[in-house]
Chain A
Amino acid sequence: MAVPLGTTGPDSAARVRWRLAEVAAVVDETPRVRSLFLTVPGWPGHRAGQHLDLRLTAEDGYRAQRSYSIASPPEDPRIALAVERIEDGEVSPYLAGEVRVGDKLELRGPIGGYFVWNAAAGGPLLLVAGGSGVAPLMAMLRHRAAARSDVPTTLLYSSRSFEEILFREELDRLAAADPSLRVVHALTRSQPEGWAGQRRRIDAEMLEEAAGLPLPEALAFVCGPTRLVENVAIDLLTLGYKAHRVKTERFGPSGS
């Protein structure tokens, strides 16, 4: 194999290097999710859909490392993360609760050229999210808007309740301004009175209703808790999506 193992070129060293980011702003988006806006000196730029690795070091040297998707589009100089607080989690309660403006965080990235979309990649585009899994898809939607792309796009987004819908107002605004973008919400645990959206977990019927049957060139991105992602991916193949046109990003157990 023609890979010089153990050597790292200057480029690669620059890319995987751990960098010190500064927390520029924090915004509570929902009762359990907080956005962190980071300035990252030397950030090489990213593509919509990529993630980064973040690590925390305790005073005794103990380290915990986790991945977080980048929710901001490539067009924004600041990096935005949306971190959901998992009650008994090691890292997320700190990021989504304790972190203050001015704090420094160690991260490396951007990572993952596989789960990415840009306007030139076209569509039609089907984005399916569960919970904080909307983060990398938000980067795609924000990039799509910044690039003035009119690729026909549907976001099917599952949340537990109305209060837990992440980026709800921004999604409303984006969809209202853009006839080629559809946003469909599914609320799985509770629905406000008069709720006109979906009221159950995402299933094949809902996917078909939201996006119709796929055109040959249709592209799907599915992101969220591992179980949701796997169920949706199977449903999409059953509906006729091509396996290599369905990209998944599993976040792991949902913690509930």
Chain B
Amino acid sequence: MTKDDADRRLDGNAAGGLLAEVFRVEMTTVETACAGCGARAPVGELLRYGHEMGAILRCATCDTAVIRVARTRDRHWLDLRGARVLRLDGTPL
């Protein structure tokens, strides 16, 4: 990872708007378990790396991509391979 990448990362909390396009509950407080290292963290605490079409949310402990969201004009692509589990007891939006 370059220094610039490190400078540009944000909190998972900043992906709240993007995630609300897909999920029906408040996602930033939803707890995740990382498939790489097992670390548990609310989505808001993951590290958000933005890109042209969406975002990658990485584990702050081991850098595994826990959630990937990409958006094209009329659909979303959601890759949750890095999430062992999501605990969706968040408040409905």
Contacts and interface: CB of A to CB of B under 8 A. Distances in A.
Contacts of A115: 11, 13, 28, 44
A114 B42 contact: yes
Contacts, number: 95
B2 to A, nearest CB: 12
Contact of B16 (A6, A113, A251): A113
Contacts of B6: 226
B14 A51 contact: yes
A16 B91 contact: no
Nearest to B91: A113
Contact of B10 (A6, A8, A114, A252): A252
A5 B22 contact: yes
Interface string B36-47: 000000111100
Given A51-B14, A115-B13, A1 B24 contact: no
B8 interface: yes
A150 interface: no
Given A12-B93, A112-B44, A114-B44, A227 B24 contact: no
24 contacts: A3-B23, A4-B24, A5-B76, A6-B76, A12-B20, A12-B24, A16-B20, A16-B93, A67-B14, A111-B20, A113-B16, A113-B26, A113-B29, A113-B44, A113-B91, A114-B13, A114-B28, A114-B44, A115-B11, A115-B44, A226-B8, A247-B44, A250-B14, A253-B7
Interface of B: 4, 6-14, 16-17, 20-24, 26, 28-29, 42-45, 75-76, 78, 80, 86, 88, 90-93
